[in-house]
Structure 1
Amino acid sequence: MKKASTKWMLFATALISIFLVTMWTLQYRSKDHFKAKQLNTDHSYKLESEKEQPKTTTTPAPLVPHTQPGVRVKTKKEVKPNPVEYYCNFPNSNDIFKMQEGNGQKGWKLKQVQIVIRHGDRAPLNLNVYHKFRTKNRFCNIHSNFYSDTLKLVSNYRNSIMKDQNSQHLPYFAQPLPEGIVCSPGQLTVIGALQHLHNGLMLREAYIRKHKLVDPATQDKFVYVRSTHVRRTFQSAVAFLYGFLPNYHLQDIPITFTMGPTFCEKHCVCPIVKTLEKKVKKTQYQNYLKRQRNNPIIKNISRITGIGDHTGPLMDSLVTGYICKQIPLPCNENGECVELSELNVVMNEQEYLNRVTRLESPARNISLLQIQPFLENITNHMKQVVEDSAAQRKAVLYSGHDLTLAPLIQALGLPEYRWPRLASRLVFELWQATDGMHFVKILFNGVDVTNDTAFCPGKNKPCSYNSFMQFQRDIGKYFGFDSRSSVCKS
C-alpha cells in the first residue's frame, strides 16, 4: 500500500510537471516581457491578439530520485526566483523534494497540523486594463477542453467534484469549481485551483502518507475547515482538500465560513486600531512621495498603461493580470510595452514599502491586535490535543487572503517583507516528544521559520508549545495591559 501511494504521488507530480511544460514555460521572450504562443499542435491555446511565434522547447527540472521531502537538493548554484516569478508561485514538480513540512526530531510524534492558505491565482480585482488593451480573460473555465486534455489531474478533480455537486443542492455562493467562460473580478482561475491541488498533494505526502495523521475512515471527525465568505477562498479550500485527503468528496468535510479575513469570530472590534492605522498610512504616504511617485520606471509603466503610480494597483493589474497568466504584457498605441524587468522593480518597491512600514510605524502593533483572536483560536485547537480532548482535530485548514497572512506574519515577528504570494501556505505543526512535552514548528511556504519568530528565537532550538501559548496570551502585556480587550478599550 505504501509503495502504491508513493507511485501515485510521483505520478501526480509528473502530470503537474507535464502541464507546466505545456502551459507555463516561458517559451519566447522579447524585451524581457512574455510572449504567448501556440502550446502544441494538438491542443492549441492562442489568444486572438497574439502573433504566431517560432516554436521552442524547454526541459523541466527532473524529479530527483532517492530524495526525501524536506531534504534540500544541492545544485551547483541556488537560483533565487525573481520577485515576479516568486509572487506568481508556479507549481513545480521539484517542490516536494524541497519542502520541510513533516520533519520532526527523532522520536517525535506529529499530533496536529493547522494550515493557513491564501487563495490561488485569481483574475485582477480591477479589469479596466483588460478592457483598455482588449485582453481576453478566459482563465476561469475548468470545463475548457484545453485543461481536460492537457492535465489529467484537473480533469479528474473536475469530474469528481461535479458528481458531488450534482448530488447536493448548494447555494450559488458555494459553487466549488471555477467555471466562468469569462473571468469576473477576483475570480479564482483554473491555475489557482491547480496551485492548491499541488499544495494538497504535497502535504498529503508529508502528513498523511508519512505520519498517518488522519485515517481516511474517520477524516470527517478529525478534519476541520474554515473559509472566508468569498468564493475564491472556498474554491481554493475544495481544491486543497481534494489533493490532501484520500478519496475526498465534497460532502465529506463541511466548510464553515467567517466574514472577516482574520478569522475573528468574536470581540473583533478594536477602536485603537483605527488610530494606529492613521499613523501607518502617514508613513506609507511619505514613502510614496519620496520614492514611488518619483521612480522613473514606475512613472513609465503608469504612462504606458494609465493605471497610476501606486505599486498595489500595478501588481494587481499587471503581475497578477498578465505575468501570472503567462500572457503578453500590454503595449500602447505607440508600440511601447511594459517589460518584465520593470515589474520586478515594482515588486521590489512594494517589499521596501512593507519593510519600512513595519520598522518605522506601529504596523506590527496593529497586526498583533488584529490577529490575536485568530492566534487564540489556533492555540485552543492545540490545547485540545495536548489535553487529549474528545473534540480535538488532527488537521485544521483556514482558507483566506493576503490580508490573512500579512498580519499573521507580522504578528509572529517573521522577517518576511514580500507580499504573500498566490497560494501561500503557513503551517503550524504540533509535535509530542518521547518525554511527553509538546513542541510547535512553524513553516512558511515549505520553509521552517520557527526560529525566526519573536517568541522562539535561536538556531536549532525546539519551540515549546508553552512558549507559543504564552506569546498569544501576553499580547495585551506588550501594550502595558492585562489583555487585548483592555487595550482595545483604552
Structure 2
Amino acid sequence: MIFNLLRMPQNKAIHCYLLMSVWILLLIVGIYKFLEPKQKFLDSPTVATELYSGLSVDIKTKRIFKICNFPDELETGEEGILQTDKWVLSGLLILIRHGDRGPLQHVKKISSINCGTDNSELLTSYKDYVNNQTLSGKVSWVGPGPFHGFPFLPTHSKLCQLGQLTMQGITQLLKLGHLLSQTYHKVWPKLRVLSPYELIIYSTRYRRTFQSALAFLYGLIPHDTLTRINIYESQSMSFCFKDCGCPVTEKLSKYVRKNISHQLRSHPAVANLADTTGKSLFSTNAEQGPLGSDPHAVRDALLSFVCHKSGLPCESPLNCIKRQNVVGIFAYTDWVNYQKWRNTYWKRYCLLKSYGLIRHIVQQMLHMVSNNGPYLVLYSGHDHTLEQLATALGLHNDPFLLRYAARIIFEVYQDNRESNNAKGIYFRLLSNGKDVTKQISFCKNFVSVDAKTNLCKIEDIVRFLHDDYFSSLNVSNFKDACLYKND
C-alpha cells in the first residue's frame, strides 16, 4: 500500500521534498557533530571570546574564508588574450563589488574588531597621493557634484563602521587594480595612456562604492588621468540608467522572499540556529523584529568577525558563538542562494533589473569598436548588482561571485582579419578571472582561441537584447514586461 502511494505523482513530489528536508537537517546536525569543540574548564570567568585561531581551516571553513577575499590571496586569472597578432583588444567594461565593509546592522562588541590592515607599499603610496591631491585641490570631483564631501578614505583606519568601507577593503581594490594593470598592459598598451575622455566611471551613491572605485582606478590607470576624471552617480544599485521604472519587480521580489521564508520555516533547526546566533550578535534594537532570526543577516554580521580574524562574541563567558554556528549558517545560506538561482521568479526579476545595465553595456561596446570611445568603463556597485547581471546572462550559480572586491569583466575584441567588418567584433566574459563565456545563454557560435579562451560574437548579444530578451516573459519590450502579470 505504501509503495503504491509513493508511485503517485503528487506523493512523489512530497516524498522528494521530505527527503530534501531530512538531508538539510542532517547537514546541520553533522556540522554540529563534526565541529563541536571538546569541553574545556575555564580557569577564569573573565574569558569573553572564543579565539578565532581555534577555527581550523578545513573543507567546510575554507569556503567561508574565500568569501572574505583577503588582499594577500587576490590574484589574476584568465584575463587578456596573448595572441595579439590576431586579436586586438578594443576596450574593457568592468563591474566591481565594493571591498570589505562593516556590518549593515548594529552588532555587539563591534568596537573589539580591528578592521585595519597592514600598511603595504601600495597602500602607503595611495594614502600619500590622496592627501596631496586633497591639499592641492587638483582633483576635479572634489568640487560640486554627486560625491561632494565624500571622504576618499575610511574616516577611521581601524574601526568597523556601519556599512562603511574598511582599510582592508581599500587594500583589496588597490591590489586588484594593480594586478589587472599588470595583466592588461601586456596586451593593451593603450591602458598606459588613456585620457580622461576615453574612460567613464559610474558609482552608486555610497561611500563604500565611491572609495572602492578610486582605489581600484589608482592601481589600474595613470595617476595623472585619475586626477582629471569625472565619476558619475548611478541612481540605482542595478545601474538601470533610463530603464528603471518597473513596478512588477517589487511583486517578483516578494515572491522570492516568500519562497525563502518558506524554506526557513521548513527547517526549524536552522531557524533556531539563526535565532540563537543572532541574539549573541545583534544589539537590543536590532533584535526587535525578524532580523535576529534571518540567516542572511546573521551571515553578514558574522563576516565582520571572520574576515578580520577576530574572536567571536559572547553573551557570557560560557555562552559564546561557536565555530559550528558559523559553519551551519553559511552552509544553509549557500544552499538557499543555490535554490534561488533556479527560481523562475528570481530569473524574471533579474532580467528586468539588469535590462538597463545590459543595454548600456552593449551601447558602450559599439562605441569602443567605432573608435569613438570610451574604451574603459567601470561600474562600482554591490553584490546584488553582480548577482542580478550574472543571472540575467544565464551564468551558473557561483557563491564566490559575491565576495568582497569581486569582478565581472567584458573584454571587447576585433579580429585583425575582419577589422572593417561588424562580424569581426567579439567579446569575452570573465567572472573573478574565470572565462565563463560559454555559460552565456544566448551565445550560439563560439570561437575557441584555446582550451580556456572563448569568444562570443557581438551580434549575439545585440540580437539577444533586441529580439529575444523578453521572450521568456511572452512579451517583446521592457514596457510590456513591467506590466506583465506573473500570477
Q: Within 5 Å, give how 1:324-403 maps onto structure 2.
A: 324-388=307-371, 390=372, 392-403=373-384
Deviation at 1:207, TM superposition (A): 1.4
Residue matched to 1:128: 107
Matched, 1:256 2:239: no
Deviation by residue 1:259-286 (Cα, 9 ceiling, x = unmatched) = 2101122231112222222222221111
Deviation by residue 1:89-132 (Cα, 9 ceiling, x = unmatched) = 11236723xx111126562111111000000000111123236x
Structure-2 change in CA distance of 1:52 and 1:469 (3 Å):
closer
Structure 2 letter corresponding to 1:367: C
Task: Identify unmatched segments of 5+ residues in structure 2.
Answer: 1-34, 39-46, 419-423, 449-453
Task: Identify unmatched segments of 5+ residues in structure 1.
Answer: 1-28, 33-47, 55-77, 141-145
The aligned length equals 409
SS of corresponding position for 1:92 = helix
Q: Within 5 Å, give how 1:193-204 maps onto structure 2.
A: 193-204=170-181
Residue matched to 1:290: 266
Separation in 2, partners of 1:293, 1:30: 16
Structure 2 letter corresponding to 1:412: L
Residue matched to 1:40: none
Structure 1 letter corresponding to 2:101: R
Matched, 1:486 2:486: no
Separation in 2, partners of 1:79, 1:293: 22
Separation in 2, partners of 1:300, 1:328: 17
Deviation by residue 1:47-95 (Cα, 9 ceiling, x = unmatched) = x9889999xxxxxxxxxxxxxxxxxxxxxxx989722112101123672
Cα-Cα RMSD: 3.1
Note if contact 1:242-1:249 (Cα within 8 Å) is conserved in structure 2. no
Structure 2 letter corresponding to 1:266: K
Matched, 1:159 2:139: no
Please give the TM-score of this superposition, normalised by the length of structure 1: 0.76
Note if contact 1:351-1:417 (Cα within 8 Å) is conserved in structure 2. no
Of the candidates 406, 409, 416, which is equivalent to residue 424 of structure 1? 406
Which stretch of the first structure deviates more once superposed, 182-191 or 472-481? 472-481
Structure-2 change in CA distance of 1:81 and 1:130 (3 Å):
closer
SS of corresponding position for 1:280 = helix
Separation in 2, partners of 1:309, 1:469: 44
Deviation at 1:359, TM superposition (A): 1.7
Residue matched to 1:309: 293
Higher relative contact order (CA 8 A, sep 6+): 2
Note if contact 1:476-1:486 (Cα within 8 Å) is conserved in structure 2. no
Deviation at 1:340, TM superposition (A): 3.8
Q: Within 5 Å, give how 1:463-482 maps onto structure 2.
A: 463-473=456-466, 474-482=468-476
Separation in 2, partners of 1:323, 1:247: 34
* Identity over aligned pairs, percent: 27
Please give the TM-score of this superposition, normalised by the length of structure 2: 0.76
Which stretch of the first structure deviates more once superposed, 447-456 or 420-429? 447-456
SS of corresponding position for 1:431 = strand
Q: Within 5 Å, give how 1:122-271 maps onto structure 2.
A: 122-130=101-109, 135-139=111-115, 147=118, 150-168=119-137, 169-170=142-143, 173-180=149-156, 182-216=159-193, 218-248=194-224, 250-271=226-247
Deviation by residue 1:137-196 (Cα, 9 ceiling, x = unmatched) = 5536xxxxx74xx42221111011111122225465422111226443111000000000
SS of corresponding position for 2:378 = strand
Residue matched to 1:101: 79
Structure 2 letter corresponding to 1:118: R
Deviation by residue 1:445-485 (Cα, 9 ceiling, x = unmatched) = 11111111212268845311111222222312332222112
SS of corresponding position for 2:314 = coil
